[in-house]
């Protein structure tokens, strides 16, 4: 038998030797949960803690089961993506009974923020040059190369995710981050677009928020993923809607073998969407 004062017989795993984390900072409060910025193991390692609090309006047993299920499902999908080389945050720890998931903190801003700021600046400079700044972005203006390059990187990231058998289920420009290049994450050789480049749209696409994701290789599911993003893009960044659809198609097509079939499905899904909106 050993007593407490004796040195450890075996070296302790690191998790048992580090000091505890700092006070969490609330980043977002969504319908389903809260996202805190905190640290993991070391005060210098930032961490995103996704917490799903109990819902008092749901039956407690059902609520606990749903929360457990969703957290485990999100963790499982993230681990799979990471293992297969899709850029997503690492899973540090998970406590599905307590309702939280500790993830690698992704530096940078959501794509939505970068795109909105970029569009705002573009409009301002168009106006300053005496042109109407609210025209549709066609991708032909000299500075538009950066936006087209970003859209291509988004399509590439989705293609890689779909290729490994994951569908996201909630693709929006808020659910993808633009992580600055660096530390083993080099800008791809053809990654520099040669646009006016204020760096707003620079960075690696990191997909996040896999709470509604699942394993699927169905072309219909993949097409719905693309359609959801297309609609989200249209409502968040209407001036770049048409450009997005065009670039998405051409870049996604190159991402994996099955892609042309998915894009054919996408046509059908769009058609259904149009019919539905006509019926009102
Ligand atoms: N791993 C992460 N690193 C940095 N920020 C993150 C991370 N995960 C989420 N966020 C930020 O928190 C927001 C909400 O997280 P998300 O996973 O999308 O949850 P929700 O289901 O509430 O939308 C994201 O839009 C992003 O700004
Ligand atoms: Mg989200």
Q: Of 40-44, 50-54, 246-250, which gets the smallest average pLDDT? A: 40-44
Mark which of 84, 104, 124 sits at the end of a domain: 104
Residues in contact with 71: Cβ distance below 8 Å, sequence separation at least 6, in sequence order = 50, 52, 94, 96, 99, 100, 101
Distance CA 77, CA 83 (A): 10
pLDDT tens track for 141-167: 877 999 999 999 999 999 999 999 999
- Is 170 designated active site? yes
Question: Do 209 and 50 form a contact (C-beta atoms < 8 A)?
Answer: no
Structural domain harbouring 149: 109-279
Q: Which of 182, 35, 170, 210 lies closest to 108 in space, CA to CA?
A: 182
The three-state secondary structure class of 153 is helix
Residue 24 lies in a domain: yes
pLDDT-based confidence at 92, cuts 50/70/90? very high
DSSP letter (8 states) at residue 198: -
> What is residue 173's predicted lDDT score, i.e. its pLDDT?
96
Do 178 and 72 lie in a common domain? no
Residue 2 reports pLDDT greater than 50 = no
CA of 209 to the centre of ligand 2 (A): 5
What is the CA 170 to chain-centroid distance, rounded? 9
**For the residues 104-127, what does the mean pLDDT come to?**
94
Do 84 and 192 lie in a common domain? no
Residue 3 reports pLDDT greater than 60 = no
Mark which of 104, 121, 138 sits at the end of a domain: 104
Q: Over the chain, what is the mean pLDDT?
A: 89
From 40, 48, 90, 107, mutation site for ligand 1 pocket: most ligand atoms within 8 A of C-beta: 48
User: How far from 19 is each of 38, 43, 45, 155, 220, CA to CA, in Å?
Assistant: 13, 8, 12, 41, 48
């Amino acid at each position: 038998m050993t007593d407490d004062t004796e040195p450890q017989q075996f070296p302790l795993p690191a998790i048992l030797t580090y000091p505890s984390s700092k006070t969490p900072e609330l980043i977002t409060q969504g319908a389903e949960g809260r996202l805190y910025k905190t640290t993991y193991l070391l005060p210098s390692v930032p961490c995103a803690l996704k917490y799903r609090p109990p819902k008092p309006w749901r039956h407690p047993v059902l609520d606990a089961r749903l929360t457990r299920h969703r957290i485990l499902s999100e963790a499982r999908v993230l681990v799979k993506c990471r293992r297969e080389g899709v850029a997503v945050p690492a899973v540090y720890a998970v406590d599905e009974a307590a309702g939280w998931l500790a993830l690698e903190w992704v530096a940078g801003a959501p794509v939505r923020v970068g795109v909105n700021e970029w569009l705002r600046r573009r409009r301002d400079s168009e106006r300053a040059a005496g042109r109407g700044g609210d025209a549709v972005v066609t991708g032909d203006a000299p500075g538009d190369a950066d936006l087209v390059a970003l859209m291509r990187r988004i399509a590439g990231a989705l293609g890689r995710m779909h290729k490994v058998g994951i569908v996201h289920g909630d693709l929006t420009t808020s659910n993808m981050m633009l992580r600055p290049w660096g530390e083993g994450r080099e800008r791809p050789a053809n990654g520099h677009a040669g646009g006016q480049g204020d760096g707003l749209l620079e960075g690696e696409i990191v997909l996040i928020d896999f709470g509604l994701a699942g394993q699927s290789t169905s072309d219909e599911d993949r097409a719905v993923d693309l359609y959801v993003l297309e609609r989200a893009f249209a409502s968040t960044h209407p001036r770049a809607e048409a450009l997005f659809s065009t670039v998405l198609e051409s870049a996604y097509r190159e991402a994996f073998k099955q892609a042309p079939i998915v894009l054919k499905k996408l046509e059908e899904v769009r058609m259904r969407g149009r019919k539905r909106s006509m019926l009102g």
